[in-house]
Chain A
Amino acid sequence: MKKFLPVLLTGIVIGVCALALTAAGNPANMGFCIACFLRDIAGAIKLHSAAVVQYVRPEIIGIIVGAMAAALIKKEWKAVGGSSPVTRFLLAVVVMIGALVFLGCPLRMVIRIGGGDFNAIVGLLGFIAGIFVGTIALKNGFTLKRTYAQTCVEGSFMPIMFIVLMVLVALMPALFVFSTEGPGSMTAPVVLALAAGVLVGVLAQRSRFCMAGGIRDSIMFNQWNLTLGLVAVIVTVLVGNLILGKFKPGFADQAVAHSDGLMNFLGMGIVGWGSVLLGGCPLRQLILTGEGNSDSAITVTGFVVGAAIAHNFGTASSAAGAGANGPAAVVACYIVLLLVTIFNVKAAKNN
Chain B
Amino acid sequence: MVDARGLACPIPVLMTQKELAKGADSVEVMVDNFAARENVTRLAESKGYTVAVKEENGEFTLTLTK
Contact = CB atoms under 8 A, between A and B. Distances in A.
A349 interface: no
B6 A221 contact: no
Interface residues of A, number: 23
Given A78-B58, A80-B6, A138-B11, A223 B42 contact: yes
Interface residues of B, number: 20
A181 interface: no
Given A78-B33, A78-B58, A220 B10 contact: yes
A147 B8 contact: yes
Interface in A141-178: 143-148
Interface string A271-287: 00000000110000000
Interface in A208-249: 208, 213, 216-217, 220-221, 223, 225
A208 B17 contact: no
Interface string B9-39: 1110110010000000000000011110011
A216 B5 CA distance: 21
B7 interface: yes
Interface of A is mostly: loop
A217 B43 CA distance: 11
30 contacts: A3-B42, A76-B33, A76-B34, A78-B58, A80-B6, A80-B32, A80-B33, A83-B6, A138-B10, A138-B11, A138-B14, A143-B7, A143-B11, A146-B6, A147-B6, A148-B6, A208-B35, A213-B9, A220-B10, A220-B14, A221-B10, A221-B13, A221-B17, A221-B43, A223-B39, A223-B42, A223-B43, A223-B46, A225-B42, A279-B10
Interface of A: 3, 76, 78, 80, 83, 138-139, 143-148, 208, 213, 216-217, 220-221, 223, 225, 279-280
CB-CB nearest 5 A-B residue pairs: A146-B6, A279-B8, A147-B6, A208-B35, A76-B34
Given A78-B33, A221-B43, A223-B46, 10 more contacts: A3-B42, A80-B6, A80-B32, A83-B8, A138-B14, A145-B6, A147-B8, A208-B38, A213-B9, A221-B10
Interface of B: 5-11, 13-14, 17, 32-35, 38-39, 42-43, 46, 58
